[in-house]
Structure 1
Amino acid sequence: MSARMHLSPAQDAQDAQDAQDTQAAHPQDPGAEHFAHAAEVLGLLADRTRLALLHTLGKGEADVMTLTAVCGAARPAVSQHLAKLRLAGLVSVRREGRRMIYGPPDGHLRRVVDEILNLADHHLSGAETHN
């Protein structure tokens, strides 16, 4: 029995359509290309500075100076990491006068970053993991 109650059959039909749309948009059995792309993205996330940049950008847009201060890395290094993230399509960038403003990652990537940081928190704090 479902925990959610609907007042109309139309809502049940909409829920079924939403589930079907989600399944069509994201295959249950990913192919070789999916695994290759996912591994490439995870490789980019396997750097402390890039992970910190994505975490910070997950909160909203920022310029290089702001990101440099938050990450604690040298400005040239931050710029190089941002260029890699931009070329991979993981962040956006726009010009505002002389400043480059970097935009947040999409929702999927933001959730991946949040989850890996939650995993790290559980590991470091000894907190119970979630099932």
Structure 2
Amino acid sequence: MSDNDKVTLPTEASDVTQGDGPVLEERYIQPLADIYKVLGDPTRLRILHVLLHNEVCVYDISRKIDMGQSAVSHQLRILRNARLVQFRRAGKEVYYSLADRHVYTLLEVGLEHVSE
């Protein structure tokens, strides 16, 4: 997404009066819903939490969340397809990390919201 395509939300209630605020463009609705759908799975949230600060191999992820490697790999594929994680190969090992700072921010804001 280029700077010209960035969407901004009103930051103050006074910026939107009686429904006169900007409407989210249709082209953003489904991709945004898809991201939240992926984030709506508890297993995927556990995996993302493991990846918050470190690059981690599949074996270590599976050990930390007490789940089989094939099940973890399946969830990682979904996260990768949603562009929420990235990976790199080192020999036979595959290491995963958050795709970018946006993913970290999504998790951080969500955790802040539920902990209030």
- The TM tier, using the shorter chain, reads 0.7 to 0.9
Q: Which of 42, 47, 51 is residue 57 of structure 1 equivalent to?
A: 51
Distance in structure 1 (CA, Å) of the matches to 2:47 and 2:73: 10
Alignment partner of 1:58: what SS?
A: coil
TM-score (norm 2): 0.76
Name the one with the larger helix percent.
1
Q: Which of 39, 61, 65 is residue 45 of structure 1 equivalent to?
A: 39
Alignment of 1:110-121 (within 5 A): 110-121=104-115
Distance in structure 1 (CA, Å) of the matches to 2:40 and 2:102: 17
Q: CA RMSD in A?
A: 1.9
Partner of 2:14: none
Distance in structure 2 (CA, Å) of the matches to 1:108 and 1:79: 22
Deviating 4+ runs (over 3 angstroms): none
Distance in structure 2 (CA, Å) of the matches to 1:27 and 1:37: 13
Alpha carbons 1:55, 1:114 under 8 Å: kept: no
Distance in structure 2 (CA, Å) of the matches to 1:33 and 1:60: 33
Alpha carbons 1:44, 1:85 under 8 Å: kept: yes
Corresponding residue pairs, total: 101
Alignment of 1:1-131 (within 5 A): 24=4, 26-28=6-8, 29=22, 30-122=24-116
How many angstroms does 1:121 deviate by?
2.2
Distance in structure 2 (CA, Å) of the matches to 1:71 and 1:115: 22
Distance in structure 2 (CA, Å) of the matches to 1:91 and 1:69: 18
Distance in structure 2 (CA, Å) of the matches to 1:72 and 1:118: 25
Distance in structure 2 (CA, Å) of the matches to 1:110 and 1:25: 21
Larger Rg: 1
